[in-house]
Structure 1
Amino acid sequence: MRVVIAEDAVLLRAGVQRLLADEGIETVAAVPDGDSLLASVLEHRPDLAIVDVRMPPTFTDEGLRAALEARRQIPELPVLVLSQYVEERYAVELLSGGAGGVGYLLKERVADVAEFVDGVRRVARGGTCIDQDVIAQLMARGRKDPLDSLTEREREVLGLMAQGLTNTAISRSLVISDGAVEKHIGNIFAKLTLEPSSEEHRRVRAVLTYLDHG
């Protein structure tokens, strides 16, 4: 696996690079700012970009904006955000972009090496890895409960999805057809404004919404 690291703190940048090297993961570029990140991913086409949120020159959201631009230019680029903060505006745009290969971890998680490396590999494979604290902060923005728009039956289906049941198992549990289950799930995705993407990714996001609001 080949990665690009964008982190302005020299010691943390070197530490993450060394940690990854110990796991057999090659760092093809380690850069201090968003412009260098974009240039590096375009040059190296890595398997993953690990990006800090706040970098020079303003130390606000340069990293996330650079990551979003990188995803626009290389749509399949997996991105793992590693930050002390949750920047809501761009984080929501990144996480709800409708594609896999995305993660958002708080830097304190790096202390758990196994968990961090697992997240790195999962995102590089096209999966998701989102810190529970990040989810909590993003979902607690004072919005109307997104589950309010669901019918009673759709809530039942989503609840069974949260238990890990397949569509076939849900149809047996509710004594309805597979087609009816698929229709309910489609309605759930639409009402929760989950953009079309892989079924697994949207299903996980729907379940996360249910667990946070159900």
Structure 2
Amino acid sequence: MPNTKEQLCDLIEYCDYFIRLFDNFPQVDDTPEGRMKAQVIWLKERAENNDLTLPVDKEMFSTIRYIYTDGTLSFHATSPENAYKEIEVPMQRIISIAKNAKLLFKREYVKYACRYIDKLISLLKNAERKLTTDEDNLIHELEEIKDGLEEGSIIPPLGNPKNIYPSYLAVDRYNPTISDLPDGKFLIKTISAIVFNGVRPDSWIDIRSADEETKELIQSRNI
């Protein structure tokens, strides 16, 4: 897994977000705000000192993992509707980097994500077997996702696709229903990680590597 300057900078950015959010709360153990503040300060200091190897031992940031799962601090969002974007996503970003050593998906990688989407759309449209209803609907959902990414109206991570892309969820199981199609599982799992989890492939260390890998995908897999 990669350990890059970008990851540490991103980690610092999201730690700073919570440090500012809980600026008026003391760094104590008897409140979730205090525990969260202590946790992100610890992570930030080590990231700034280049004394943080990814992934971090899960016991070293158990507070964030617990609070994220429990939803304890969601009420600090400006409204209940904004809790996911303002509280859950920043926590998810920290966990993605610290726990899983992932690279975050960013706007400048949209072009390369869309190459995967185009490939999957092509694969579905040219499938040698009859598609199920959900697989057929997936084509339209993928086209919508691609348009949204390119226009900037979709900003990963979107979270669970249940209420927004039901056919996507129906197809993308532990073992996707399109696993029998060439590269079907590989493509949908890569797209899912980008769109719904907001992380990019480990090999996309930078723009150049993302471009080279997806160009190779185009050439070798006939997008």
TM-score range relative to shorter protein: 0.3 to 0.5
- In the superposition, the TM-score normalised over structure 2's length comes to 0.33
**Bigger fraction of residues in helix:** 2
Higher relative contact order (CA 8 A, sep 6+): 2
